[in-house]
Amino acid sequence: MKSLLYVITALAVFGLAFWAYRENYATQQVLKETRGLQRQIGAAQIRLNVLRAEWAYLNRPDRLLELAELNFASLGLLPLRPDQFGRVDEVTYPLQPELTITEGVEVSGLNARSQSEQSQ
């Protein structure tokens, strides 16, 4: 009986060792993939910063004005003037419907009218 217990224990130890060995390599693979993804994210952030800088450089007002003047015949673009914009007070907003109270308001279990009568 003892030898059977020793064999089962040894098999369990070998099984657990094999499982730990596989989990170790799986963990190492996941860590390697994570480092690769972090490198890709860093490279993408650098590219994004470069693209934002290029966008800001290409959208300079003096450059856009120059391009508008050069391509006036084909595009018909005119420079912006302050009088082309509206004022805030010229904007119309939709009217909110008025709320009407049709019934009395209860205050601590009593109707507001009966409470005022009790206080007199």
Most confidently predicted of 15-19, 98-102, 104-108: 15-19
**pTM listed for this prediction:** 0.48
DSSP β-bridge partners for residue 111: 106
Q: What are 72-98's pLDDT values in tens digits?
A: 888 887 777 778 888 888 888 888 888
Encoded tokens for 74: 């084909």
Q: What are 31-50's pLDDT values in tens digits?
A: 999 999 999 999 999 999 99
Tell which residue, 37, 15, 33, 13, has the closest CA to residue 25. Answer: 33
pLDDT of the residue at 96: 85
